[in-house]
């Protein structure tokens, strides 16, 4: 199968046919209802995809600035394409998970290949990333394929199967419905060694509204979420979302 380009993936998204009705989630636990009613305005089209424009810092030995675009298309996966500046040198590439296959492709100056990774472990890790990034596409959390539970009024848990992985995502929700953090076990090998499940999550420092959706627009993301190691070695991604378009 020929993989679509970034723009082809976006242009082929079918228009949404359903709309968010808060009454449809009345059976969800209270913190899940509060979160989704905060994240999606009533009457908003239930999007199946989002296109994000972002910038920030990514840790590759040291912290380095990046700019990027990402498409999350729930029925197929995601493409993240970025430019990272390391000591004044431009590295272009990105990560993808499409139709069950994950890959990392990076080139020096956009020409010389320096990273070309794929395979089962890369795919499983990329699938987990796609699932936890549903926080940027909350419409997919409203359906009956998602099982919500809550331990108290501030903590909601979403269970679902998508992209070949089982997602067990924990959300901390404030009184207004704003998410303060998100976390889930994700397949990966932080620090090297064997692949295994490790907590991967992030803190939400800011949010904004785009087309009826209120999503996190400033986050700090990393491995070992909830442990001291998050601050010392786990955090690898600091992101600001400048724009989001839903379809």
How crowded is residue 116: how many other Cβ atoms within 10 Å of its Cβ?
11
DSSP, collapsed to helix, strand or coil, labels residue 138 as helix
Query: Could you give the CA distance from residue 234 to residue 229 in angstroms, rounded to a whole number?
Result: 6
The position carrying tokens 């004044």 is 88
Q: Which two tokens stand for residue 43?
A: 């009457």
* C-alpha torsion 162→165→166→172, nearest 10: -80
Q: Specify the pTM.
A: 0.95
**Strands, DSSP E only, in the chain?**
49-60, 62-73, 77-86, 89-98, 101-108, 112-118, 147-152, 155-162, 165-173, 179-188, 196-210, 213-223, 235-246
Per-residue pLDDT of the chain in tens (247 residues, 90 and over written 9): 567 899 999 999 999 999 999 999 999 999 999 999 999 999 999 999 999 999 999 998 899 999 999 999 999 999 999 999 988 889 999 999 999 999 999 877 666 566 788 999 999 999 999 999 999 999 999 999 999 999 999 999 999 999 999 999 999 999 999 999 999 999 999 988 899 999 999 999 999 999 999 999 999 999 999 999 999 999 999 999 999 999 9
């Amino acid at each position: 199968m020929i993989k679509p380009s970034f723009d082809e993936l976006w242009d082929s998204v079918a228009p949404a046919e359903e709309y968010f009705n808060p009454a449809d989630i009345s059976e969800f636990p209270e913190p899940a209802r509060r979160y989704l009613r905060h994240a999606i305005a009533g009457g908003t089209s239930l999007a199946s995809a989002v296109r994000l424009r972002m910038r920030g810092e990514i840790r590759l030995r040291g912290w380095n600035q990046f700019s990027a675009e990402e498409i999350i298309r729930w029925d197929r996966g995601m493409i993240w394409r970025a430019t990272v500046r390391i000591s004044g040198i431009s590295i272009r590439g990105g990560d993808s998970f499409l139709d069950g296959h994950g890959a990392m492709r990076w080139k020096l100056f956009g020409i010389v290949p320096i990273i070309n990774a794929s395979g089962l472990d890369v795919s499983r890790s990329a699938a987990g990333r796609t699932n936890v990034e549903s926080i940027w596409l909350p419409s997919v959390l409203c359906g009956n394929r998602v099982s919500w539970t809550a331990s108290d009024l501030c903590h909601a848990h979403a269970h679902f199967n998508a992209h070949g992985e089982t997602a067990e995502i924990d959300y901390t929700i404030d009184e207004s419905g704003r998410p303060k953090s998100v976390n889930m076990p994700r397949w990966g090998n932080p620090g090297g060694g064997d692949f295994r499940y490790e907590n991967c999550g992030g803190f939400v420092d800011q949010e904004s509204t785009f087309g009826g959706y209120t999503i996190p627009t400033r986050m700090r993301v990393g491995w070992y979420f909830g442990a001291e190691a998050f601050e010392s070695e786990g955090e690898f991604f600091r992101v600001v979302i400048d724009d989001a378009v839903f379809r």
